[in-house]
Amino acid sequence: MQKLNQDELQTMLHEAEDSFPHGMDCNLCECFLGYVAQLHIDSDTANKDLFTPYKVDRKDMHHCLGCDPCPPGNLYAEHMQKKQTATTKSLS
């Protein structure tokens, strides 16, 4: 899978933020922050400054609030499925 570019990252991060069911509480949720961490891993190192606003102190993070569905969690799962599909296709 190719590294995510800045436009893709911005779109994905804004989509996640727009989906927050609990506003700013979701910004500190492990579901969203896990997604952000994975996007950082999957991005080009030139885009590292894009993630600065999402860095939080560990003591401020909280566990999942139990949203059903969890929009940021669903976006994370979709991203991982796309990544796995791309990897499988490249191996074929």
Q: Give pLDDT tens digits for 50-88.
A: 999 999 999 999 999 899 999 999 999 999 999 999 888
Take residue 78 and report the two structure tokens written for it.
């979709």
**All structural domains of the chain with their residue ranges:** 6-91
Q: 28, 60 in Cβ contact below 8 A?
A: yes
Phi and psi of 81, rounded to 5°? Answer: -65, -45
Q: Angle 30-41/6-18 helices, nearest 10 degrees? A: 170
Q: Quickly list DSSP for 2-62.
A: PPBPHHHHHHHHHHHHHT-TTGGGGGGBHHHHHHHHHHHHTB-GGGGGGGGGG---GGG-B
Position 38 scores a pLDDT of 96
The yes-or-no verdict on residue 92 having pLDDT over 80 is no
Position 16 scores a pLDDT of 96
Mean pLDDT (the chain) is: 92
Position 80 scores a pLDDT of 96
